[in-house]
Amino acid sequence: MLKVVAPPFLYFAHGYLATWMAVAALFRPYNAHYIPFTSIQLPLTPGIFPKRRSKLSQAVAATVTDTLLTTKDIKAKVEELLTPENLYRTCDLFVDAVLKEFRDTAKLHRLAQDIAELSPAVLEHFVSSSIDSLEQGTDTKIATVTEKVFDQVVLSARINIEQANEMASRILEAFATPPKVRTAFITLLSPQNINSLDESINAHASGAYKILAKIIGVKRVCYEWRNFMEKEPEEAEKVIGDMIKRFGIKDQIAVQIANFDMRTMPLSTVNKFKANMVSFVETFLVEHKTDILESVRKVEGEAMSAVRQSIVRFNPESIPKAWLDRAKQDLAQFAHSYLKRELGELLERAIPALGMYTVIAQKIDQLSANQLEDLIKRICKQELRALEWFGGIIGLMLGFIQIFLNAVVP
């Protein structure tokens, strides 16, 4: 009986042990071993996986990136998740998180300081680039802003009577003082102009007016008036000053200024005035670029202070909820339309930039032999155990075959 049982049992033990050693040889020993007192490395040291760890890491990385997790798969999954609802939730959480940070006084002051320090450079760059674009003829923002200012401010501006009186006073002081009026009269009443006036009366005046002009002697009166202004300037200026007061020239000018409405002018005139204003602003900006940039640099302290105070005083609670919800919705719609249009190109550039193959390969290559064994056994522990038992069963079967052959063959 012992002879019958012994061969199958020994074959089973041999098969199981051989398979167990083969599985163990996959992982152990962890390090290379050498024949004592020599530099000859023993075969199968280290184990197969520790020895081939570098190639294993590259193979796993290639399998994951080329087969299991391809760019196409990632893009399909991202497109599946890229819905307006998901984007709105993301924008909602993002905006709320940003606004929450404004409640932290320390962070708010640091943010205000950082943005304030950046604001002068941003302002200078904006002004410089805008003027450069204007000079190159590629910018229309200045013209658009100027036209809007003209339409909404200049065109509808009205001057009250107090301002009109002040302007009329300045006009009289600058252009209609008695000395200037006397000089203008002298220039106007030149011999050539007087002769031209006399000839015009004779040629175009009707009979009665022509006779009256002859009786009065318009030509002689003009010469007398000119002589009076040239020879007696002080008296002439007194007369002119008295006439300005008596005629109420200042009040008449003030009334005309107060009643002036640019919108009553012909449309062609208004459009021409607008075009001249745009041209003046653009020319002024280009010709005085250096002075403008210097002025911007001089006010950088005020700009920093204004930006800093605006951020520090900002209160998220003051934002109307309806406006905040609309802003989140607009942000989500913008992100959705942009990502739908640009997602493919973004992923094609982003995924290679992530270096997933390198990350996976390096991660596996950095595992120790013990960690690598634990990882593989966690994944296929049952399969390896089944393989060991399978070796034993094969040995058991060979034992029974041996008994059968011994019984059949003498």
| Residue 172 near residue 250 (C-beta atoms within 8 A) | yes
Q: In the prediction, which pLDDT does 410 show?
A: 56
pLDDT tens readout for residues 15-42: 777 777 777 776 677 777 777 777 777 7
Whether 116 shows a pLDDT value over 60: the answer reads: yes
The two tokens of residue 257 are 């200024």
Q: Nearest 5°: phi and psi at 368?
A: -75, 165
The one-letter code for the residue type at 320 is: P
Compute the chain's Rg from CA coordinates.
Answer: 50
Average pLDDT, the chain: 79
Distance between CA atoms of residues 181 and 161, nearest Å: 25
The one-letter code for the residue type at 391 is: G
Block residue for tokens 């002018």: 265
* DSSP-assigned letter for residue 66: I
Distance between CA atoms of residues 121 and 307, nearest Å: 13
Whether 232 shows a pLDDT value over 70: the answer reads: yes
Query: How many other C-beta atoms are found inside a 10 Å radius of the C-beta of residue 327?
Result: 13
| Residue 127 near residue 292 (C-beta atoms within 8 A) | yes
pLDDT band at 317 (very low <50, low <70, confident <90, very high): confident
Query: How many other C-beta atoms are found inside a 10 Å radius of the C-beta of residue 213?
Result: 17
The two tokens of residue 356 are 């997933």
Whether 242 shows a pLDDT value over 70: the answer reads: yes
Residue ranges of domains in the chain: 2-82+354-408, 85-149+314-350, 160-260
The residue-averaged pLDDT of 348-371 equals 73
Q: What is the pTM of this model?
A: 0.46
Dihedral angle of Cα 395, 398, 402, 408, to the nearest 10 degrees: 160
Q: Which residue from 380, 305, 381, 344 is spatially nearest to 112, judged by alpha carbons? A: 305
Q: For the chain, how many residues are written?
A: 410
Helix, strand and coil percent figures for the chain, each rounded to 5: 85, 0, 15
Distance between CA atoms of residues 284 and 279, nearest Å: 8
Distance between CA atoms of residues 180 and 168, nearest Å: 16
* DSSP-assigned letter for residue 154: I
Residue 50 CB burial class (10 angstroms; 0-12, 13-18, ≥19): buried
Q: In the prediction, which pLDDT does 389 show?
A: 78
Distance of CA 206 to the CA centre of its chain: 75
Distance between CA atoms of residues 227 and 189, nearest Å: 10
The one-letter code for the residue type at 185 is: F
pLDDT tens readout for residues 132-187: 888 888 878 888 888 888 888 888 888 888 888 888 888 888 888 888 888 888 88
Whether 69 shows a pLDDT value over 70: the answer reads: no
| Residue 16 near residue 392 (C-beta atoms within 8 A) | yes
| Residue 17 near residue 396 (C-beta atoms within 8 A) | no
Return all residues near 116 (Cβ < 8 A) that are at least 6 apart. 304, 305, 307, 308, 311
